[in-house]
Structure 1
């Protein structure tokens, strides 16, 4: 085999969501492995500092080198360590808020891979900085420096934004939520294995060993991202970086615009629903350790086991149940309906956690919790389906900004609630989390309106085998004239719910040599009032007149003798 043949065999030729799954797995495994290591380091530093201050319990071995030393099991030390750990997490969140919008705007202009490489570089610098502080036995203020570097380079929020946008770029719209779910599943599986492996290596060898192992594994991830094909083709990139959206407020501004169907309230409703839901999710993670220690006397090992089991079940639920619903039961369910049912399960899970009476019951509730968390990838898919193809980076930057904001706000909010109600109502924080899901539920009922826009398109796209699919997207504010000249690589099926405005000029779409032409195609809501319209011609310029409704339109599409053979089917996952 020639050198070029070997290169073609080793290097992927087409973008695919599956290409970034191992990247998500390893980076999130590293990110969540660092959390308990940082906590152990802070406990160790606070323990030595505390006994040096009071001048007691300084018998050998001193300084204390083991965070599990019984001398470190003091309420004052644990309280101080918890405060410092919270500030370390806040630093990453605050810095991510400052940079995620910028990376989102850049990714819509130059591609997704640079937006993935920058957070990866930040993670490797963080690993080096934490190893150096441990090696030099530096005090805990120096731990803030590698945390700030990781946050300024985007942190995990920016990496999630870029990978989800990469998946949205190259996935069939009918399968987009399923593909996003696959990435979300790898996030949870990486978050399960990372802390377990990191804890074993740290206890068996040294704290620096897991940092070296995971930091080293990020090097081939960087090389892999460099060689995989870019998902955002030049034709689909914005003409210039939109600097007005390169900040936290600009990144969120896309949620105040109309969706690709002209509905001005869908994106705001999605944004509010996701924010309230994510607030409760992060809040649970922030108080779970304190709550279970108080109610069930859990130690570090039991908490670690619960987190591993909980994350594993969530990862498996998203990997198995979500594709089954979206691909096998598409005739009966839509993304909005799945999200609504899952939000009900999430609220039920928080209520059950609040009234759990023993350890076994608390573990079993993870099954309900896992079903509830399916709402997260489904809502990401709904965001993606309601914006234009050149806005994928912007909308995922908005989601990442929401996540970064509540990564900072939620721990402070729910730790304050928990501290204020520990003596009177210890489960009050969990009840507040459950009540916080009421707003997403109410907005979710409104989001069922999206079914009318997407049901026809998704049903056809999921069953159509003659060509790959991509929606013909309208302009941002309202259906109005636009021109997609040149190559529109994913064209193959035009959704009747996404017609152009009646005054739009003739539009030509080229798909791998097959011209798709439209002539004054009208919006679906106005279609029945017009007597004569030109229809989309797949591979020809045929005309149809007197089409009175969308059903007639769909019938003509189904009976069209020529369908485009877009790109090779291997492009789509």
Structure 2
């Protein structure tokens, strides 16, 4: 959707004029490019996240002597068992916090380096390096599981992944690649197609992971995680063509990359454009922070009473939620004929808030599945707005990667700390907190 004061720069096809479009490879049509890369990487992530959380939950339960309460019909635990359940949830939440904060903190700095660097050397290197890091992380997790090492050793794999860019770098790199090769009229839909790839991968990965872990535990499915991450590296190396056609030598370890991101928000453009960029970034930051934060605690909420879901039920719930990525793509395409992007985003935020409120009061599986099905994905719209505001440069890549890495870091710090702290008075309070936060981007967009 065209925004006042945010006109598209001249592309190479329109003339030799200067602008950020120089050196980009514009590809007409909807040719398959980074979509399989997003699918494979997301499939690995969706398999890994619940498996690792359930593994930590199981290990801590075993160490503390908590046998679970599913055998008692999953009623609320009483006495010592109730306290043990809270201790297990608290420790699992804290270990998720420590592991994720370590990875996200490292990834925040590495993504900032890789973004502007890719503007000089090309996009392919920063699509390959994070895949290597994620493969190393999966290998470390397998070693910890097979050798039954202390849970803290999982942090080593997480740090390796963050050092090489992490999943957020792959994701931001793919969106930046699409911005390189597409024009403004097709960009929102192509970004939504990438989001749909995330949804399809999430849906299949949730079902596969839930059923597989129910049948064979948590270790064997992790071999598929490793294989998928290796496959993303191979695909990026063999099949992705470079979208930056004019390459220049550039150093990776230099403060100039951080200064480029700072200048993006502080100077070098009209005041109106800079303000809109800051507002778009803030909206995206809050929406993705709530999304990531809810993901961090949702599995713990489902594992414990009063739901006590099994791994296959967790998989089905996640599959229903990821199915909304596909329904969001269809709804986005249909609503674009009669509504502007901002109105579509408002509708999506309203559905997200309704889903979070439903989670907060869920005491049965039916209500929980209903909450999963309420979400509509609004991230493609805000990504597209941010793409236009940043004008598709290397700073775009660094900016989006930084925003999402910061979201991951802040969401883990806030939600994984708030959840155990509020268990004693309202287990679903954290979901209500997330719904309240979404009022901020709703007001900004309005």
Is the Cα contact below 8 Å between 1:198 and 1:210 reproduced in 2? yes
1:409 Cα deviation from its structure 2 partner:
1.9
1:169 and 1:239 mapped to 2: Cα distance?
A: 19
How much has 1:324 moved relative to structure 2? 3.3
Q: How far has the Cα of 1:159 moved from its partner?
A: 0.6
Q: Give me the TM-score of the superposition, normalised by structure 1.
A: 0.63
1:456-477 Cα shifts (integer Å, max 9, x gaps): xxxxxxxxxxxxxxxxxxxxxx
Once the two structures are TM-superposed, the CA of residue 354 in structure 1 deviates from its matched residue by: 3.5
Q: Are the equivalent residues in 2 in contact too, given 1:255–1:398 (CA < 8 A)?
A: no
Q: Aligned residue for 1:385?
A: 388
2:445 is aligned with 1:444: yes
- The two structures have a TM-score, normalised by structure 2, of 0.80
Q: What does residue 191 of structure 2 align with?
A: 180
2: distance between equivalents of 1:97 and 1:366? 29
Deviations 1:375-410 (A, max 9, x none): 111100111122324x1x322322222222222222
**Deviation of 1:238 (Å):** 7.3
Match of 1:254 in 2: 264
Residue matched to 1:311:
322
Preserved CA contact (<8 Å) 1:287 1:415: yes
In structure 2, the partner of 1:35 is: 49
Q: 1:264 aligns to what SS in structure 2?
A: helix
Q: Cα 1:358–1:43, aligned 2, differ >3 Å: closer, same or farther?
A: closer
Separation (CA, whole Å) in 2 of partners of 1:378 and 1:419: 33
* Alpha carbons 1:169, 1:231 under 8 Å: kept: no
Q: Distance in 2 between matches of 1:44 and 1:427?
A: 22
Residue segments in structure 2 that go unaligned for 5+ positions in a row: 1-25, 68-80
Hey, what does 1:406 align to over in structure 2? 407
Inter-CA distance 128–286: structure 2 relative to 1 (3 Å threshold): closer
Instruction: Give the secondary-structure state (helix, strand or coil) at the position aligned to 1:269.
Output: helix
Cα deviation for residue 352 of structure 1 reads: 4.0
CA distance in 1, matches of 2:292, 2:419: 14
- Deviation of 1:241 (Å): 6.2
- Shift in Å at residue 207 of structure 1? 4.0
Using CA pairs under 8 Å that are at least 6 residues apart, name the structure with larger relative contact order, 1 or 2.
2
8 Å CA contact 2:288–2:404 kept in 1: the answer is yes
- Taking only aligned residues, the RMSD between alpha carbons, in angstroms, comes to 3.3
Given that 2:44 and 2:228 are in contact with CA atoms closer than 8 Å, whether structure 1 keeps it comes out as no
Residue equivalent to 2:6: none
Q: 1:261 to 1:317 in 2, by over 3 A?
A: farther
- The question of 1:363 aligning with 2:369 is answered yes
Alpha-carbon distance in 1 for matches of 2:142, 2:115: 30
1:285 aligns with 2:295: yes
Bigger Rg, which one = 1
Distance 1:386 1:349, change over 3 A: same
Q: Which of 267, 271, 275 is equivalent to 1:265?
A: 275
In 2, the alpha carbon distance for the partners of 1:38 and 1:335 equals 37
Measured after TM superposition, the shift of residue 280 of structure 1 is 1.9
The alignment of Structure 1 onto Structure 2 pairs a total of residues equal to 404
Deviations 1:232-275 (A, max 9, x none): 3334x67856944534x864652445768963311011111111
Deviation at 1:224, TM superposition (A): 2.4
Query: Is the CA contact 1:170–1:231 (under 8 Å) kept in the aligned structure 2?
Result: no
The equivalent residue for 2:155 is 144
d(CA) in 2 for partners of 1:254, 1:427: 39
SS of the residue corresponding to residue 436 of structure 2 reads: helix
Contact 1:296–1:358, Cα closer than 8 Å, also in 2: yes
Query: Does structure 2 retain, via aligned residues, the 8 Å contact 1:279–1:406?
Result: yes
Task: Please state which structure has a larger fraction of its residues in helix.
Answer: 2
Q: Quickly say closer, same or farther: Cα 1:115–1:260, change in 2 above 3 A.
A: farther
